[in-house]
Homo-oligomer: A and B are copies of this chain.
Amino acid sequence: MPQPTLDFWFEFASTYSYPAAMRIGDEARLRGMSVRWRPFLLSPVFKANGWSTSPFNIYPAKGRYMRRDLQRVCGALDLPFAEPPGFPQNTLLPARVALVALAQGWGEDFCRAVYRAEFGDGRDIGERDTIADVLRTLGRDTEAVLTLAQSDDNKARLRAQTEEATALGIFGAPSFVTPSGELFWGNDRLEAALDWAKR
């Protein structure tokens, strides 16, 4: 019998996607489930809502709260939390690379390494050099991967995946979607989403 699967929709710029990405593998294994990692871009979703940037920038009280809450959430998980220069980060390149990496079977390690560089070490993941470093650490052929990531086909795949997210009703990250189409939003809904997908 195939394992029940949960779709994990994430955006590298999303702070709450960081603890979710670090937890989801273990939480799914505990339940005998598999996860499909689905990177997408939040900026088109924000634009559709009339926001020129993250709501955490537009509403300062929300931004202040989010930073403090993230410290607490990461502290409870023993995850380091550092802020990269500039929020939100430009995540076009890592999202494109993630699609290539996931298609080749090493994507989950890549995604976790990107989050670790960004929110663990506070590095700028919009920089090509940062992504190249991550790829080298994973033993990948940096130039070959980046060329594939920047191909027209791959760019179109990321656009299509972002459109699919919007069509599913996704408006933030992380989001989780069960095979029956049930949508859950937020790191704190991870367990509920896995349990729903399994039942």
- Select one of B49, B184, B196 contacting A59, CB under 8 A: B49
Give chain A interface residues in 43-62, CB to chain B under 8 Å.
49, 59, 61-62
Q: At the interface, yes or no: A31 with Cβ under 8 Å from chain B?
A: no
Copies in the complex: 2
The answer to whether A68 and B192 touch across the interface, beta carbons within 8 angstroms, is no
Q: At the interface, yes or no: A64 with Cβ under 8 Å from chain B?
A: yes
Query: Measured between alpha carbons, how far is A184 from B71 in the docked complex, in Å?
Result: 12
Q: At the interface, yes or no: A164 with Cβ under 8 Å from chain B?
A: no
The answer to whether A61 and B169 touch across the interface, beta carbons within 8 angstroms, is yes
The answer to whether A68 and B183 touch across the interface, beta carbons within 8 angstroms, is yes
Count of chain A residues with a beta carbon within 8 Å of a chain B beta carbon: 21
Residue numbers in B under 8 Å from A192 (CB-CB)? 72
The answer to whether B183 and A62 touch across the interface, beta carbons within 8 angstroms, is no
Residue numbers in B under 8 Å from A182 (CB-CB)? 68
Q: At the interface, yes or no: A188 with Cβ under 8 Å from chain B?
A: yes
- Most-contacted residue by chain B among A65, A68, A182, A192 (CB, 10 A): A65
The answer to whether A171 and B69 touch across the interface, beta carbons within 8 angstroms, is no
Q: Whose C-beta in chain B lies nearest to the C-beta of A51?
A: B59
Question: Please, could you name 19 A-B residue pairs with CB atoms under 8 Å apart, sorted by A?
Answer: A49-B59, A59-B171, A61-B169, A61-B170, A61-B171, A62-B171, A64-B169, A65-B169, A65-B171, A65-B183, A65-B185, A68-B182, A68-B183, A69-B184, A69-B185, A72-B192, A186-B188, A188-B188, A188-B189
Q: A61-B169, A62-B171, A69-B189 are in contact. List 7 more A-B contacts (CB 8 A).
A: A61-B171, A65-B169, A65-B171, A65-B183, A68-B183, A72-B192, A186-B188
